């Protein structure tokens, strides 16, 4: 059985360490793991591969990978791996859902605190070496408290669910929007469906986007959604940039239609220097780092190794993505025999 490992995502590169490769080979001697670092070498490596692990499987290599049965992405978001040929095939896709359930909710908490306490304005005042207490206190309508505030979370995966618990622990009133509102979320006083989106936005002091990117969530926050939000409310995005209509959000921030935004994901990454987000004073930009943790690669490898053991044994895999929906659901599981091939 052959597994190809290739980790390259925009400007980020990684490879499984030699000692970890050796440990996997010692545990599963029937598995050949080929670590590829140059994308030009992928077509040849994938031609007889049974499985792939990395961030994104290159769509151009799919037709030639005739033995492929399983793709494991180290991302939680899987949209880049859901090209039409892949969705239509019997290849199973698993992802890293759950690995960011600490880092991303904590990042959101940091952004909420920074916006509520006007830390972004305090940093600008510090750069001027100015003791301007009133400038910090009065910026963007004044300092707010998280306790007693209304937190709306759009998305109830591992990240949204963990954030709901954090928000409740801080005495925030939490409501969650999810596709299946009949499923409760711990810490949330209410769970609503997509048809109640505008009502939820009108209620919220903080709106956090934690949804997968699908056809239903693209431009989820558009002009109508922003118009529904309170002028004192904040928008935080740790999902994908495509869930926001950028022109609409820039206009809303420039007009003061909402109090501010904390953005960690963008349609175009790296974010171009020409983007107005950089210079909007009410916007905090972080360079897609909410998912990072010092233990990210350790946890990524541990999940992959567990699924690899299951794959070899023909057992149910963890984090199987429903390719029609674009995310992991409770009802999806799969087992794959490592020796089985695939005809296409």
Question: Is residue 115 a contact partner of residue 142, using CB atoms and an 8 Å limit?
Answer: no
**288 catalytic, yes or no?**
yes
Task: Indicate which residue of 69, 173, 240, 310 is catalytic.
Answer: 240
Categorise residue 203: left if φ over 0, alpha if ψ from -120 to 50, beta otherwise.
Answer: alpha
Strands (E) across 42-121 are located at 51-54, 70-73, 92-94
Q: Which long-range contacts (CB under 8 A, 24 or more apart) does 189-193 make?
A: 191/156
Task: Indicate which residue of 106, 199, 269, 315 is catalytic.
Answer: 269
CA torsion angle for 205, 211, 214, 217 (degrees, to 10)? -10
Opening angle at CA 278, ends 116 and 172, nearest 5: 20
Which residues, including other chains, have CB under 8 Å from residue 80's CB and lie 6 or more apart?
A: 55, 56
Task: Indicate which residue of 100, 173, 175, 288 is catalytic.
Answer: 288
**251 catalytic, yes or no?**
no
Question: Is residue 245 a contact partner of residue 219, using CB atoms and an 8 Å limit?
Answer: yes
**305 catalytic, yes or no?**
no
Question: Is residue 185 a contact partner of residue 178, using CB atoms and an 8 Å limit?
Answer: yes
Tell me which residues are annotated as active site.
240, 269, 288
């Amino acid at each position: 059985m052959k597994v190809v490992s290739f980790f390259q995502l925009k400007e980020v590169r990684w490879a499984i360490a030699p000692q970890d490769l050796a440990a996997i080979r010692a545990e599963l001697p029937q598995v050949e793991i080929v670590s590829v670092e140059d994308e030009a070498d992928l077509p040849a490596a994938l031609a007889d591969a049974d499985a792939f692990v990395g961030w994104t499987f290159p769509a151009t290599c799919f037709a030639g990978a005739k033995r492929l049965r399983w793709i494991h992405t180290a991302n939680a978001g899987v949209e880049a791996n859901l090209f039409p040929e892949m969705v239509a095939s019997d290849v199973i896709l698993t992802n890293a859902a759950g690995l960011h359930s600490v880092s991303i909710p904590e990042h959101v908490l940091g952004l909420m605190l920074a916006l509520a306490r006007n830390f972004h304005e305090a940093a600008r005042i510090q750069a001027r070496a100015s003791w301007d207490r009133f400038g910090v206190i009065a910026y963007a309508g004044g300092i707010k408290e998280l306790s007693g505030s209304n937190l709306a979370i759009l998305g109830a995966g591992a990240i949204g669910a963990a954030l709901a618990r954090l928000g409740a622990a801080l005495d925030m009133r939490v409501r969650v929007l999810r596709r299946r509102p009949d499923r409760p979320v711990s810490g949330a006083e209410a769970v609503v469906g997509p048809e109640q989106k505008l009502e939820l936005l009108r209620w919220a002091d903080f709106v956090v986007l934690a949804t997968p990117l699908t056809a239903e969530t693209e431009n989820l926050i558009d002009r109508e959604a922003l118009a529904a939000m309170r002028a004192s409310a904040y928008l935080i995005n740790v999902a994908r940039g495509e869930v926001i209509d950028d022109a609409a959000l820039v206009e809303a921030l420039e007009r003061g239609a909402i109090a501010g935004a904390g953005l960690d994901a963008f349609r175009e990454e790296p974010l171009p220097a020409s983007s107005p987000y950089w210079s909007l004073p009410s916007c905090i930009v972080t360079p897609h780092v909410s998912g990072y943790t010092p233990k990210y690669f350790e946890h990524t490898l541990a999940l992959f190794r567990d699924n690899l053991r299951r794959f070899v044994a023909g057992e149910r895999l963890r984090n199987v993505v429903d390719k029609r929906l674009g995310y992991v659901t409770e009802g999806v599981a799969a087992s794959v025999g490592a020796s089985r091939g695939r005809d296409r």
